[in-house]
Amino acid sequence: MYLIYKLIYIIECEYMRLDYPSRHTERIGAVSIHELQKIYELDSGEMPRTSAHNHEQSTRAYSYQELSSIFRELAIVIPLKNEKIGLLEGVLSGIPNECLIIIVSNSERAPVDRFSMEVEMIRQYSQFADKKIMVIHQKDNELAKIFKKVKYTSILDSKSHIRNGKAEGMVIGILLAKMQKKKYIGFIDSDNYFPGAVNEYVKIFAVGFKMATTPYSNVRVSWRSKPKIVNNKLQFPKWGRISEYSNKYLNALISNITGYESEIISTGNAGEHALSMTLAENLNYSSGYSVEPYEFINILEKFGGLLPTDSSNIIEKGIEIFQIESRNPHFHEEKGADHLTGMMQASLLAINNSKICNIELTKEIKNHLLMLQIKQNYKSPKINLQKRHHIMDPIKVISIEDFADLVIKNSKTFLKI
Ligand code: GDP
Ligand code: CO
C-alpha cells in the first residue's frame, strides 16, 4: 500500500516552470550574471504532459522531487531583530519542511526579554509542526569568546563583543549551516508578511541551485512588486527607491567594465538571496545593511578578473549568478524614512568604496550621497564619504570542527528545537 501511495505521489508531483537561464548572460571574468528569469507557473501540474505547445523549448519545469533534493541540503537563515512575533511564525510556516531553519536573533534581552519570547513561540509552534529549527543569540557572550578563540575577530567590536548588524547575523547563520554540513544557504527576512511569498522564495533558491552548472552559485530574488498604501489606495510599484539606485549604479559599473551599456542587474538589494556554501565561505561580508549590494561587488572583485586573485581553482569552475522574479508581491514591515536613508547610504558607499568602481561613477555616487544629506536638512550625522564599511573575513579561515565543538559546549543561547 505504501509503495502505491509513493508511486502516485511521484507521478502527481508539482512542478515550478520558469525561463531557461541562457536567454542573456553577461560574463565578467569567471562570473556569469544571468538576466532576470520569469516564473510562468508556480505549479505546472504533473509531468510529462502532452500539449499543443512545446513549452520545453523556452521554459523548463522542475519537479517537487528535484526541489526537495535541494531543500534537504539547504539551510534557511533568518536574521531577526525585534520583529513582531506573529510575523516570525508566518515566515516559519512558509519554509518547506525538508529545510533546516537557523534563526539568528539580535532582539533585546532587557527590560523585556524578547529573545525568550521568540524561543517560547518557536517551541509552541514546534508542537504542531515537525520542523528542524536552530536558534542562537547574536550577543551571546560565549559566542563572542568563541570567535576570539578561533581567531575570527573581524566580527567583533573594539570591546570584543559581536557587532550589531544583519550581515553579522548572516555570518553566524552561515557558520551554523556549515556545522550541519549544509551545501546551500538561503536568507529570508523575518519581517515578511506573506508566508506564501516565503514559500516561493525558498522554491526559487532550490530551482536556482538545480540550474547551476558550477558549485559556486548565487541565487537572488527580484520582487515583481512591492505593495504600498498611498493616499488610501493600494499601489504595486516594482522597485523600492533603494533598489532603483543600487541597480542603476551596479549596472553603470558593469557597463564601464564591459564597454556596453547594461541593464542586467535587477537584484542589487535583494534581501532574499542564497549562496552555495562553497561560494559563501569564500566571500567577505560588509557590515550591516550594505551586505546585499556588496555581495555582487565582492564576487566581481574576487572573480571578475579585474584585480589580482588567489582563487584560481574557483575561477576555473566559474561563478553563476541567477536572478529570478517572484510572482508573489513582497510585503514587509515599514521601518521609516531614517532607516531607508541609512540603508541607501550604506548601499551606495559599498559600491563607491570598491577598487573596481571607476572615477566617473564615484563622482556620481558622491553627488548622490551629498544630495541625500541636503535633503535630510543636515539632521543626521554627516556622511563620511571616505568611510570604509567594516568588512568581515571569509569564514573559511575558521576551523569548523573547533567552532562546532565550542558552540555546542559553551554557548548559552544555542538551541535545537
Ligand atoms: P529591510 O527589509 O532591508 O528594510 O531591512 P530590515 O530592517 O527589515 O532588516 C532585514 C532583516 O534583518 C529583518 O529580518 C530584521 O529583523 C533583521 N535584522 C536587522 N538588524 C539585525 C541585526 O542586527 N541582527 C540580526 N540577526 N538581524 C537583524
Ligand atoms: Co524588512
Residue 11: its pLDDT value, please?
45
Cα within 13 Å of Cα(197), Cβ side: 26
Using most ligand atoms within 8 A of CB, pick from 115, 191, 220, 286 the residue to mutate for ligand 1: 191
Q: How far is it, in rounded angstroms, from Cα 145 to Cα 160? A: 8
Q: How much distance in Å is there from the Cα of 103 to the middle of ligand 1?
A: 12
In tens, the pLDDT along 163-182 reads 999 999 999 999 999 999 99
Residue 137: its pLDDT value, please?
98
Q: How far is it, in rounded angstroms, from Cα 236 to Cα 329? A: 8
Residue 331: its pLDDT value, please?
86
Q: What is the CATH number of the domain that holds 377?
A: 3.90.550.10
pLDDT at 294 over 60: yes
Residue 343: its pLDDT value, please?
87
Residue 50: its pLDDT value, please?
55
Domain that holds residue 303: 2-47+59-416
pLDDT at 4 over 60: no
Using most ligand atoms within 8 A of CB, pick from 76, 78, 189 the residue to mutate for ligand 1: 189
105 Cα nearest atom in ligand 1: 26
Give 153's contacts (C-beta < 8 A, 6+ positions apart).
147, 160
| Ligand with an atom nearest the CA of residue 187 | 1
* Average confidence (pLDDT) over 34-39: 95
* Average confidence (pLDDT) over 207-224: 95
Q: How far is it, in rounded angstroms, from Cα 263 to Cα 327? A: 21
Q: How much distance in Å is there from the Cα of 12 to the middle of ligand 1?
A: 39
Eight-state DSSP code of residue 216: E
170 Cα nearest atom in ligand 1: 26
Q: How far is it, in rounded angstroms, from Cα 82 to Cα 106? A: 7
| Ligand with an atom nearest the CA of residue 143 | 1
Q: How much distance in Å is there from the Cα of 80 to the middle of ligand 1?
A: 6
* Average confidence (pLDDT) over 185-209: 97
| Ligand with an atom nearest the CA of residue 344 | 1
Using most ligand atoms within 8 A of CB, pick from 166, 331, 344, 347 the residue to mutate for ligand 1: 166
Peptide bond into 111 cis (omega under 30): yes
In tens, the pLDDT along 97-120 reads 999 999 999 999 999 999 999 999
Indicate whether 54 belongs to any domain.
Answer: no
Q: Looking at ligand 1, which residue's alpha carbon is closest to its atom 28?
A: 166
Indicate whether 250 belongs to any domain.
Answer: yes
Indicate whether 268 belongs to any domain.
Answer: yes
The binding-site residues of ligand 1, defined as CB within 6 angstroms of any ligand atom, are 79-81, 83, 104-106, 138, 164-166, 169, 189-191, 271, 332-333, 335
Q: Measuring CA to CA, how many Å separate 337 from each of 85, 106, 165, 195, 235?
A: 23, 22, 18, 26, 19
* Domains: count for the chain: 1
Indicate whether 22 belongs to any domain.
Answer: yes
Nearest CA to 283 among 213, 187, 180, 414? 187
Which cell numbers in the block locate residue 18? Answer: 520558469
Which of these ranges, 49-58, 106-115, 207-216, has the smallest mean pLDDT? 49-58
Which of these ranges, 183-187, 264-268, 307-311, has the smallest mean pLDDT? 307-311
Q: Give Dmax (Cα) for the chain.
A: 72
Q: How much distance in Å is there from the Cα of 272 to the middle of ligand 2?
A: 10
191 Cα nearest atom in ligand 1: 14
pLDDT band at 213 (very low <50, low <70, confident <90, very high): very high
Indicate whether 52 belongs to any domain.
Answer: no
Q: How much distance in Å is there from the Cα of 133 to the middle of ligand 2?
A: 21
Q: How much distance in Å is there from the Cα of 79 to the middle of ligand 1?
A: 6
Indicate whether 401 belongs to any domain.
Answer: yes
Chain centroid to CA 153 = 23
* Average confidence (pLDDT) over 267-275: 91
Q: Looking at ligand 1, which residue's alpha carbon is closest to its atom 20?
A: 166
Q: How much distance in Å is there from the Cα of 24 to the middle of ligand 1?
A: 33
Residue 386: its pLDDT value, please?
58
Peptide bond into 48 cis (omega under 30): yes
Question: How many other CB atoms are found less than 10 A from the CB of residue 205?
Answer: 30
| Ligand with an atom nearest the CA of residue 87 | 1
Q: How much distance in Å is there from the Cα of 105 to the middle of ligand 1?
A: 9
Which of these ranges, 19-33, 196-210, 219-233, has the smallest mean pLDDT? 219-233
| Ligand with an atom nearest the CA of residue 332 | 2
Indicate whether 53 belongs to any domain.
Answer: no
Indicate whether 217 belongs to any domain.
Answer: yes
